[in-house]
Protein backbone atom coordinates (compact mmCIF):
# COMPACT_ATOMS: atom_id res chain seq x y z
CA UNK A 1 0.00 0.00 0.00
CA UNK A 2 1.64 3.28 -1.08
CA UNK A 3 2.17 5.96 1.53
CA UNK A 4 1.99 9.69 1.01
CA UNK A 5 5.08 11.70 1.89
CA UNK A 6 5.49 15.45 1.90
CA UNK A 7 8.66 17.36 2.54
CA UNK A 8 10.56 20.44 1.47
CA UNK A 9 13.45 19.69 -0.85
CA UNK A 10 15.84 22.49 -1.73
CA UNK A 11 13.24 24.99 -0.61
CA UNK A 12 10.37 23.57 -2.65
CA UNK A 13 7.47 21.61 -1.17
CA UNK A 14 7.09 18.14 -2.71
CA UNK A 15 4.45 15.47 -2.20
CA UNK A 16 4.39 11.96 -3.62
CA UNK A 17 2.95 8.50 -3.06
CA UNK A 18 5.65 5.88 -2.65
CA UNK A 19 6.00 2.29 -1.55
CA UNK A 20 6.58 2.21 2.21
CA UNK A 21 10.02 0.62 1.72
CA UNK A 22 11.25 3.49 -0.44
CA UNK A 23 14.50 4.91 0.87
CA UNK A 24 15.00 8.65 1.05
CA UNK A 25 17.90 8.23 -1.42
CA UNK A 26 15.62 6.45 -3.88
CA UNK A 27 12.92 9.08 -3.38
CA UNK A 28 15.39 11.86 -4.14
CA UNK A 29 16.95 10.12 -7.15
CA UNK A 30 14.03 8.30 -8.73
CA UNK A 31 10.92 10.22 -7.70
CA UNK A 32 12.35 13.73 -7.72
CA UNK A 33 15.03 12.96 -10.35
CA UNK A 34 17.65 14.85 -8.34
CA UNK A 35 20.50 12.60 -9.40
CA UNK A 36 23.31 14.51 -7.72
CA UNK A 37 22.76 12.40 -4.63
CA UNK A 38 24.64 9.18 -5.35
CA UNK A 39 24.41 5.67 -3.96
CA UNK A 40 27.76 3.93 -3.59
CA UNK A 41 27.06 1.13 -1.15
CA UNK A 42 24.35 -0.81 0.61
CA UNK A 43 25.60 -0.65 4.18
CA UNK A 44 25.58 3.10 4.94
CA UNK A 45 29.38 3.17 4.83
CA UNK A 46 30.39 5.25 1.81
CA UNK A 47 28.44 8.45 2.45
CA UNK A 48 27.95 9.34 -1.24
CA UNK A 49 24.23 9.75 -0.54
CA UNK A 50 24.67 12.32 2.25
CA UNK A 51 22.05 15.10 2.30
CA UNK A 52 20.97 17.61 4.90
CA UNK A 53 17.86 16.70 6.87
CA UNK A 54 16.64 19.56 9.03
CA UNK A 55 20.11 21.04 8.83
CA UNK A 56 22.12 17.93 9.74
CA UNK A 57 24.07 15.66 7.40
CA UNK A 58 22.43 12.22 7.10
CA UNK A 59 22.96 9.25 4.83
CA UNK A 60 19.82 9.21 2.73
CA UNK A 61 20.23 5.48 1.98
CA UNK A 62 19.78 4.77 5.66
CA UNK A 63 16.40 6.35 6.21
CA UNK A 64 13.01 5.75 4.66
CA UNK A 65 11.36 8.50 2.66
CA UNK A 66 8.40 8.27 5.00
CA UNK A 67 10.68 8.99 7.97
CA UNK A 68 11.54 12.29 6.30
CA UNK A 69 7.87 13.25 6.07
CA UNK A 70 7.55 16.89 6.98
CA UNK A 71 11.31 17.44 6.98
CA UNK A 72 13.41 20.09 5.32
CA UNK A 73 15.83 18.34 2.97
CA UNK A 74 18.72 19.95 1.11
CA UNK A 75 20.65 18.08 -1.57
CA UNK A 76 23.80 18.97 -3.48
CA UNK A 77 21.58 20.66 -6.10
CA UNK A 78 20.33 23.07 -3.45
CA UNK A 79 23.44 24.68 -2.01
CA UNK A 80 24.75 26.94 -4.77
CA UNK A 81 23.12 30.35 -5.13
CA UNK A 82 20.27 30.77 -7.59
CA UNK A 83 22.58 32.58 -10.00
CA UNK A 84 24.89 29.56 -10.06
CA UNK A 85 27.55 30.93 -7.72
CA UNK A 86 29.03 28.02 -5.81
CA UNK A 87 28.72 27.60 -2.05
CA UNK A 88 32.08 28.35 -0.38
CA UNK A 89 32.54 24.63 0.25
CA UNK A 90 31.94 23.79 -3.40
CA UNK A 91 34.29 26.57 -4.45
CA UNK A 92 36.99 25.36 -2.07
CA UNK A 93 36.77 21.84 -3.49
CA UNK A 94 37.25 23.33 -6.97
CA UNK A 95 40.15 25.54 -5.95
CA UNK A 96 41.97 22.77 -4.10
CA UNK A 97 41.27 19.90 -6.50
CA UNK A 98 39.26 18.10 -3.84
CA UNK A 99 37.49 15.95 -6.38
CA UNK A 100 38.42 13.69 -9.27
CA UNK A 101 35.69 11.39 -10.60
CA UNK A 102 33.02 13.38 -8.78
CA UNK A 103 31.01 10.43 -7.53
CA UNK A 104 31.67 10.79 -3.80
CA UNK A 105 31.79 14.57 -4.14
CA UNK A 106 28.16 15.52 -3.42
CA UNK A 107 28.18 13.48 -0.21
CA UNK A 108 31.62 14.79 0.71
CA UNK A 109 30.52 18.40 0.25
CA UNK A 110 27.29 17.90 2.24
CA UNK A 111 29.20 16.21 5.08
CA UNK A 112 31.90 18.86 5.01
CA UNK A 113 29.39 21.70 5.31
CA UNK A 114 27.91 20.03 8.39
CA UNK A 115 31.38 19.38 9.77
CA UNK A 116 32.37 23.04 9.52
CA UNK A 117 29.03 24.10 10.96
CA UNK A 118 29.49 21.93 14.05
CA UNK A 119 33.27 22.49 14.28
CA UNK A 120 33.81 25.99 12.91
CA UNK A 121 37.61 26.00 12.90
CA UNK A 122 38.58 22.35 12.55
CA UNK A 123 42.12 21.04 12.83
CA UNK A 124 43.44 18.64 10.20
CA UNK A 125 42.80 15.75 12.56
CA UNK A 126 39.25 16.89 13.28
CA UNK A 127 38.58 17.08 9.55
CA UNK A 128 40.01 13.61 8.94
CA UNK A 129 37.94 12.16 11.77
CA UNK A 130 34.90 14.10 10.68
CA UNK A 131 35.13 12.54 7.21
CA UNK A 132 35.11 9.02 8.60
CA UNK A 133 31.66 8.40 7.15
CA UNK A 134 32.62 9.31 3.61
CA UNK A 135 34.74 7.19 1.28
CA UNK A 136 36.74 8.61 -1.59
CA UNK A 137 38.80 6.27 -3.77
CA UNK A 138 40.36 8.93 -6.03
CA UNK A 139 41.92 11.74 -4.04
CA UNK A 140 43.60 10.03 -1.10
CA UNK A 141 41.73 12.73 0.90
CA UNK A 142 44.76 15.08 0.92
CA UNK A 143 43.13 17.80 -1.15
CA UNK A 144 39.70 17.27 0.40
CA UNK A 145 41.25 18.09 3.77
CA UNK A 146 42.87 21.18 2.29
CA UNK A 147 39.60 22.26 0.70
CA UNK A 148 37.68 21.95 3.95
CA UNK A 149 40.35 23.91 5.81
CA UNK A 150 40.05 26.68 3.23
CA UNK A 151 36.25 26.59 3.25
CA UNK A 152 36.12 26.77 7.02
CA UNK A 153 38.01 30.05 6.81
CA UNK A 154 35.74 31.33 4.03
CA UNK A 155 32.57 30.34 5.92
CA UNK A 156 33.58 32.06 9.14
Partner 1 sequence: MGDMNLIGASVKRKEDYRFLTGAGTYTDDVVLPQQTYAVFVRSPHAHAKLRAVRTDAAKKAPGVVGVFTGADTAAVGGLPCGWLITSKDGTPMKEPAHPILAKEKVRHVGDPVAIVIAETYAQARDAAELVDVDYEVLPAAVDVRDAVKPGAPAVHAEAPDNKCYVWGHGDAAAVDKAFKAAHHVTKLEFANNRLIPNAIEPRAANAVYSRADDSYTLYVANQNPHVERLLMTAFVLGLPEHKVRVVAPDVGGGFGSKIFLYAEDVVLTWASKQVNRPVKWTAERSESFMTDAHGRDHYTVAELALDKDGRFLAMRVHTLANLGAYLSTFASSVPTILYATLLAGQYTTPAIYAEVTGVFTNTTPVDAYRGAGRPEATYVVERLVETAARDLKMDPAEIRRRNFIRSFPYATPVGLTYDTGNYEKTLDAVLKLADVAGYAKRKEESAKKGLLRGIGYSCYIEACGLAPSNIAGALGARAGLFEAGEVRVHPTGKVTIFTGSHSHGQGHETTFAQVVADRLGIPIEDVDIQHGDTGKILFGMGTYGSRSLAVGGTAIVKALDKVVNKGKKIAAHLMEAAEADIEFKNGFFQVAGTDKKKAFAEIALTAYVPHNYPLDKLEPGLNENAFYDPTNFTYPAGSYVCEVEVDPETGVVRIDRFSAVDDFGNIVNPMIVEGQVHGGLAQGIGQALLEGCRYDPETGQLLTGTYQDYAMPRADDLPAYQVGTEKTPCTHNPLGVKGCGEAGAIGSPAAVMNAITDALGVRDVPMPATPQTVWRAIQAKR
HEC sequence for 13-44: EEEEEECCCCEHHHHHHHHCCCCCCCCCCCCC
138 binds partner 1 (CB under 8 A): yes
Closest CB to partner 1 among residues 70, 94:
94
Q: Alpha-carbon Rg of the chain, whole angstroms?
A: 15
Among 64, 145, 150, 151, binds partner 1 (CB under 8 A): 145
Distance CA 6, CA 13 (A): 7
Q: Is 74 in the site for partner 1 (CB under 8 A)?
A: no
Residue pair 52/110 in contact by the 8 Å Cβ criterion: yes
Q: Mask 27-66, x = binds partner 1 (CB under 8 A)?
A: --xx--xxxxxxxxxxx-xx-x------------------
Residues 93 to 112 in contact with partner 1, rule: CB under 8 A:
93-95, 97, 99-106, 109
- Site stretch for partner 1 (CB under 8 A), options 1-9, 52-60, 65-73, 91-99: 91-99
**What is the size of the binding site for partner 1 (CB under 8 A)?**
56
- Which helix (H) or strand (E) segment holds residue 142: the answer is helix 142-154
CB 40 within 8 A of CB 103: yes
- Helix-helix angle 105-118:142-154, to 10 degrees: 50
Task: List interacting residues with partner 1 (CB under 8 A).
Answer: 19, 21, 29-30, 33-43, 45-46, 48, 75-77, 80, 86, 90, 93-95, 97, 99-106, 109, 124-125, 127-129, 131-132, 134-145
Amino acid sequence: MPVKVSMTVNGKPVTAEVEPRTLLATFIRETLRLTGTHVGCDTAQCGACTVHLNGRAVKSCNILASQADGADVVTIEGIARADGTLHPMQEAFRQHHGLQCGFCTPGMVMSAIDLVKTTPNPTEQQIREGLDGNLCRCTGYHNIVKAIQAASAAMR
